Structure 1
């Protein structure tokens, strides 16, 4: 059983303050930042993340897929919304897998639920991402502050035997 998190990319960008501010400067940079955030989130949680950006109004656009270890980025083709792509994708996925979809679109949330997926809002996703970042930071800090001494690497019994050997010299 696998776990998937599918994002309506532009919906998330417009819902998260820092990404929306970046998008005002450069939409490309905002998309890259979202991808970076989600790669870290996917790695930490052991899930596959799929970000869908629609190219609904982009003339002549074709579906484009970018795939990384645990992240897939999809740009839909012309006249295809992210919502319709996500609905079709969910229908094709294994029903035994855990499928979460992050969007603030109320109508889309209802369709997602009807197809058996779990819906989460952009705000809930942000909370999950921030929680994971905090956990990652704590682990990193613990690794940095933990000293690699003999005491931290071997058990007490072995340490006691080594101490006896040292004293008998």
Structure 2
């Protein structure tokens, strides 16, 4: 069985989502958090190793990595784009016999590069649809679980309760 990796171009996905784009106008940090929470739920069902890459091109910092509930988040270093980080990840992780890599981006030049490196791609819009479908399925499963939980108590009429109490106390 092949090991599956999913690499998400974070800001590209945010830019393709109307909801996340609105949040980003107020707070880019909140938009990132909202995306990451969606990715956590998605990844719990997909069981892939998931990377989310954010562009920190003009921040003047080194590459930063952190983990968020099983997702590896990478912020690119100074003078490096998220696309460059994604390409490097694809080259580092890819082995045609043991890995399957899916890159989530709508960047056309990035798509051509990752195809050449052996990765698959899904557009950000398609991925957002998949996230929404996954969310609906999860809500349905949770709803079913709450409706199909075993009852904690058995409904017993008063006459049967009295009879059981008598048996418990040793009366016939």
Indicate whether the TM-score tops 0.5. Answer: yes
What is the rounded CA distance, in whole Å, between the counterparts of 2:3 and 2:141 in structure 1?
Answer: 25
SS at match of 2:58: coil
> Does 1:63 find its partner at 2:70?
no
TM-score, normalised to structure 2's length? 0.83
**1:146 Cα deviation from its structure 2 partner:** 0.7
Mapping of 1:141-156 within 5 angstroms? 141-148=143-150
Runs of 4+ residues over 4 Å off in structure 1: none
**Structure 1: runs of 5+ lacking an equivalent:** 151-168
Whose radius of gyration is greater, 1 or 2?
2
Counterpart in the other structure of 1:46: 47
> Does 1:72 find its partner at 2:72?
yes
**1:54 Cα deviation from its structure 2 partner:** 1.2
**1:24 Cα deviation from its structure 2 partner:** 0.1
> Does 1:120 find its partner at 2:135?
no
**1:149 Cα deviation from its structure 2 partner:** 5.1
**Structure 2: runs of 5+ lacking an equivalent:** 153-171
Question: Number of aligned pairs?
Answer: 150
Counterpart in the other structure of 1:11: 12
Counterpart in the other structure of 2:109: 107
SS at match of 1:20: helix
What is the rounded CA distance, in whole Å, between the counterparts of 1:140 and 1:76 in structure 2?
Answer: 37
TM-score, normalised to structure 1's length? 0.84
**1:147 Cα deviation from its structure 2 partner:** 3.7
Counterpart in the other structure of 1:36: 37
Cα deviation 1:90-130 (Å, max 9, x = unaligned): 10104221110011110100111110000110111011111
23-32 vs 4-13, greater mean Cα deviation: 4-13
Counterpart in the other structure of 1:162: none
Counterpart in the other structure of 1:89: 89
What is the rounded CA distance, in whole Å, between the counterparts of 1:55 and 1:40 in structure 2?
Answer: 25
